[in-house]
Structure 1
């Protein structure tokens, strides 16, 4: 039988020096994968790679592991499976070069047999490097899991069966293509037995097919199975089936493989937009970066599922992987939870955006890395769009357009069941011409991103005819034209290209009311993907509040850590913009209250580009009583009333300054502030903010993944500082200390966008009353304890 053995424990890790600087194993750190080497290196004001990567540093690193190879493996096929090594991985087995892989986000395989010493202790060494190669925090090292595959010489290829389900007349057809390899020296006749199981484990159908395979040959076995009245997969009903395949020889099992899949249909046209199972769907999309906050770029199943679940709870039904293929763990979570996916290949092709980025490896590797993504994604019903690039600089010339066509054709040759897009930034594609226009305005010193962060500049640049002209050929190679910050082109380009279908592949959060109106109105616009759904490390200060008359640099100085532009912060806490968006989407009936920072009352922040206002959902302010404060109320209503301690203080119309928002100035008094929303004079919703008391306890709550196989993964523990009434003390930032018994503290931190605290420390300061800990349980009774000055110690059993 092919065994997939997790190979994540007991690796030796160290920075990689020259051969004259190499240290003995005794000086190396023992780590468990996944592991982020860049996170381990810490941050600094000087000598780092700057704001784009959150002031972390480049480097080169080495991982080494010893393992026993039994004598009987000499008659087996042994392969290492790497889910992702960032970047330029070099793999050595027993000191011999065994293979390499340039891209940091795609799965790859290293055959081990030629280099193994059977019956002895063997070593595998992985070297990787990251040098100023990313526009965001990429992390580095063995950031995704590793598996050792051991199986018979006659076996199913490591990528497993390819499953193509379809539905017609209420019945399901499943076409299965399975490659069976004969690595033995004789011809073998085997039987491939394939079964389909429903979610409750019942066998729906089984097919057995014989195949004679010559020595050294790979046989592609095609099978068709039928399922009566299958349960369909969609975002509200993510029904999954399981396929199990066995290779049998005279009824003896040689190998087996499995895959999960879902029955669903996809249709696309400019009159109806996107339809899933014949029902129209608009994409309420979130762009997400690869890091997981306090875990850095290290990818854990439970953390990825938690991200998907929290994004869906916030109203999103789609995510875009920005700007690289999603992890296997997040794809599987999207399948289970019911989240649609736009999976993206690259942030650059031949033109570089950084000193040593993937562009130098693109020409030699683009086909294999594109194939790796599509082959891996094929069975996932959540994946509906493949994006072949993000803001590609050469997409505005004919040679770049040719490359777009080559990429799109490569994807279609592997998967004709999904649609191909690319996230085009028209201003970047036409940058030479547009920068001449910008120079004439005297604003070129701001930098291109800073210019595009203002509505007026974006509207001026994106709407120009030069943009439409330069993206013409690239857009023609796609099934869906993705536009970054280019919503002005929807109607302009539809007039000249009525068959063209669009998606807002990246958009400003501050414009979601107007953007969603366009999405709702125009059937040929599939949806909107905000930048970003979840905050991320690097691009520091991108979403910081913008105050009139104050210079707001695109890159905030050290110790700024995050982009500060997510609907959800890096530990999973929803921000006011998230609730505003939920109301715009029509998913929330109750109003939402947020209070603008009184410290900026004379010069309030204005939502612009990637930033929202500085408002917080708090009624705790360190100001004198009766000080005027500005209250924002988000509501799908005509007007709202603000009631403070039982007395109405103000009424305001919704939409005077911004759609779905009312503003009013009222005096600050501790107590209870209520917002009551009205439509046509009738009350339609109410919500409250209460002044909280002093911290009385720390409450711990562990995220519980629904998938039972994730039970042994890390535990995400939410830490909340509460008052005596059980309310979160948003104004109480306590310094907490964390102890873990029979386990390892993998990460600890809060959602603060500016900090010098390390996620690898055992203490941190809560932010607005919250923090998050990640724990790897040991083999016994794992427990976490959290202490803070003035409150009782809190403990939680994690076993």
Structure 2
């Protein structure tokens, strides 16, 4: 271990799932404990179980787990300070070193940094760090959480004079075309018993790795204290960080004593400006830009909460291909790695701190705020004691990321505050839609009067909002404070929004005009929205709305309200396996300028569209397209029906006109503007062959797509997202098995059981077909397809070589896919 370096601390841990309470001791025999590398989520390793789990957390168990790691006290390290940083442990983590308790942290999404110097044994001797993770409250969330040390761990061995984890804060207060001012504020800790004088040097590297600026100075820190030291650095001809233009700089801060470098600490940052305008929306680097965002929970499907960055990279790039430019991290802070990835990709991020404040939410059924049993007790029980510390630690870690444009202090904060709900007049508010489509029965003054009469609780929504906002602004004022409001008329009237720089509205697009008129000085946007045309149309019609975050970008485990076997919520644009859904193509057609076209079909008897007296297809659902909720209506990605059977063909596009062909015969050319719901429709008697949609714009044919009637299953095609990865125990490969017919056309209307076979040194992380109601075990090499395909996830180990992959089903075997690990 080299002094002054941050080191990976994830290898060679031991794990035991046990409720025994005394496994922290040095003397414990852990010889037979399971060896593993972190990150790790033990819940996702279990089968889905209706009896042992709860739908809110995905029918997977919790429990109590122990982690242990042996390590030597660094040689030649006297004097030194040794710090450990855990990026996330779910949850109720108690950390011991050599049998002594160092800390306890209940929140499962907070980075935990500990100084273990005083707990270590003499140089060269063995130490044991033990972590007890108590997730016996396995229904303590409204979504899947995972269990264990599910994010990365780092160690830093430094001189007693050092920059701690999160010890730098970089801002860019002045930016113009010719130059930018980079302001860096550094916390220097001195653990020694004597004062220290030292030299600090800042070096800035541009996005291409070239050194472009340097400043230095000499400073003094008293013994056993910390000091903040601020310096400004000028960067000429700055390359701005922007959406899809991720220019990331690095500043390396080095400490010197007596000409010896004792530490180098590197911080990534971006040079960019953001502004939200009450009438004109969002600006980045002076350019007005719509936020085309999605909400994401933190699970990665197959891998649960311990998500390799390769999984997130594939998912985020697919969302970006669909026009997405922003992520709302719902409803908790993400990992540090996730934010690093968003920095590199050029994605905007809303970082959200909490889902619960003073009062608990019901975990099993939203809005029915029952809370009565041990297993469902969540963060509300710890909020009063830990919220300030947790918020502080999250922001110290995250505030240098250029991707972050908003700090969200809470999600749907009104539900647990009964006076707010009652004051609005929505006495029977429920998720079936009445508060989605109707204005509040009272005006702002009436709601405020009612709230003042009703509010007699120990903790009020407005005081808590102000407290959280104050804590946030004490650490960063370069981004606005926001919260996601499900009953914003109540939050406004109660004064909770007074604490916010802007207000996010959850499924309340019906109230944009009402609230903009009532509160003309308050910036607003949609922060939880349906993946439907009516939500985006509301933004396009209102310049004062900055954009939306769709619920959700990707299906996620949990929030299944006792609806076994439904293990996940399927509101995503992508399913659990990262495969595209119809709503993905709809939003892609709305969010991209380049031509987009996609075809889906349905039996006429099962379609929501029925012909009227004139033969025109009309929406038969209540409220029609203007009141569509989370789930896209049922359609099929294939052209396989009974000859002559009546079907409805749907085309999602941004082309001005589309002509539909069946076997080279035109079925008519139609204009997109004729369809209020933005879905082009044809009634078509089925005939096997090829169904083709050709899109036209002002300059002629621009794009086309086809569906082809497929035959029997005769083969399996393997598709990999990459065929070369590194032997670093991190890189992953997604292997898709697609059923095909004799003409090698993908089959989407038939299913089969797929067996994967892997030869070579790699780790099989699991399999999935993406279907929200599939309860097949992720930890397997066998899976039933859904819509003709499935996914296997592989991860590199530390051995280079060739990995050969095949798949088989009922006597049919795929060709070999070769993966090279270098």
Q: Which TM-score applies when normalising by structure 1?
A: 0.88
Structure 1: how far apart are the matches of 2:23 and 2:182? 56
In the alignment, structure 1 residue 591 sits paired with structure 2 residue 597: yes
| Alignment match of 1:378 (pick from 371, 395, 399) | 399
Give the 3 Å change call, closer, same or farther, for CA 147–740 of structure 1 in structure 2: farther
Deviations 1:118-175 (A, max 9, x none): 2222111111122121001111111101112211111111113211123135311111
Report deviation, 1:786.
2.7
Cα distance in 1 for partners of 2:77, 2:503 equals: 50
Which of 509, 515, 534 aligns to 1:514? It is: 534
Distance 1:20 1:515, change over 3 A: closer
Deviation, 1:246, is: 0.6
CA change 1:733–1:27 in 2 (3 A) is farther
The aligned runs of 1:177-576 (5 Å cut-off) are 177-353=185-361, 354=363, 355-392=376-413, 393-394=415-416, 396=420, 399-426=460-487, 467-468=489-490, 471-509=493-531, 512-540=532-560, 555=561, 557-576=563-582
Aligned partners of 2:509, 2:723: CA distance in 1, in Å? 39
**Which residue is 2:436 aligned to?**
none
Q: Deviations over 1:628-670 (max 9, x none)?
A: 1111111235553321111123555546664221122212222
Moved more, 561-570 or 737-746: 737-746
Give the deviation of 1:580 after TM superposition: 0.6
- Please state if 1:156 is matched with 2:163: yes
Residue 113 of structure 1, aligned match among 107, 110, 117:
117
Partner of 2:737: 720
Q: Flag the 1:315–1:681 CA change in 2: closer, same or farther, 3 A.
A: closer
Deviates more, 1:481-490 or 1:304-313: 304-313
1:289–1:321: 8 Å Cα contact kept in structure 2? Answer: yes
Cα distance in 2 for partners of 1:320, 1:336 equals 17
Structure 2 unaligned blocks of 5 or more:
364-375, 421-450, 611-619
The answer (yes or no) to whether the contact 1:198–1:204 under 8 Å persists in 2 is: yes
Match of 1:543 in 2: none
CA shift, 1:104, in A, is: 0.6
**Residue deviations 1:693-743, cap 9 Å, x none?**
5343432313489xx999652313231325365543323534122325212
In 1, the alpha carbon distance for the partners of 2:466 and 2:497 equals: 9
What SS does the corresponding residue of 2:777 show, helix, strand or coil?
A: coil
Q: Secondary structure at the match of 2:332?
A: coil
Q: Does 1:753 align with 2:757?
A: no
SS of 1:173 mapped into structure 2:
strand
Q: State the partner residue of 1:142.
A: 149
Instruction: Give how far 1:561 is off.
Output: 2.0
Residue equivalent to 1:129: 134
TM-score scaled by structure 2?
A: 0.85
Q: Is the 8 A contact 1:301 1:710 kept in 2?
A: no
What secondary structure does 1:25 align onto? coil
3-state secondary structure, aligned to 1:72: coil
> Aligned equivalents of 1:529 and 1:792: distance in 2?
40
- In the other structure, the counterpart of 1:624 is 642
Q: Separation in 1 of the partners of 2:648 and 2:582?
A: 15
Cα distance in 2 for residues equivalent to 1:64 and 1:34: 13
**Structure 1 residues 125 and 715, CA gap change in structure 2 (3 angstroms):** same
Deviations 1:321-351 (Å, cap 9, x if unpaired)?
Answer: 0000011111111111110001100111011
Offset of 1:55 from its aligned partner?
Answer: 1.1
Secondary structure of the equivalent of 1:368?
Answer: helix
1:47 has 2:52 as partner: yes
Structure-1 residue corresponding to 2:807: 787
Q: Are the equivalent residues in 1 in contact too, given 2:539–2:547 (CA < 8 A)?
A: yes
Q: What is the aligned partner in structure 2 of residue 459 from structure 1? A: none
1:446 match: none
Q: Which is worse superposed, 717-726 or 572-581? A: 717-726
Q: What value does the CA root-mean-square deviation take over the aligned residues?
A: 2.5
Give the CA deviation at 1:273: 1.5
Q: Deviations over 1:263-294 (max 9, x none)?
A: 11112222321111100011001000010111
Alpha carbons 2:244, 2:325 under 8 Å: kept: no
Query: Could you say what secondary structure the match of 2:56 adopts?
Result: helix
Return the alpha-carbon distance in structure 1 between the equivalents of residues 597 and 210 of structure 2: 45
Distance in 2 (alpha carbons) for counterparts of 1:586 and 1:359: 41
**Aligned residue pair count:** 739
Contact in 1 for aligned 2:768/2:790 (Cα 8 Å): no
In the other structure, the counterpart of 2:73 is 69
Q: Which of 707, 710, 713 is equivalent to 1:689?
A: 707
Offset at residue 209 of structure 1 (A): 1.0
Distance in 1 of aligned mates of 2:80 and 2:689: 71
The whole-number CA distance in structure 2 between the counterparts of 1:531 and 1:583 is 18
Q: Which runs of 5+ in 1 are unaligned?
A: 430-466, 541-554
Shift of 1:602: 8.6
Tell me what 2:444 maps to: none
**Partners of 2:563 and 2:280 in 1: how far apart?**
47
- The equivalent of 1:579 in structure 2 is 585
Partner of 1:2 in structure 2?
4
Distance of 1:420 and 1:307 partners within structure 2: 27
Which deviates further from its counterpart, 684-693 or 177-186? 684-693
Tell me, in whole angstroms, the C-alpha distance in 1 between the residues paired with 2:727 and 2:472: 31
Q: Do the aligned partners of 2:292 and 2:326 also contact (CA within 8 Å) in 1?
A: yes
1:434 is matched with none
Q: Secondary structure at the match of 1:127?
A: strand
Q: CA deviation at 1:746?
A: 2.0
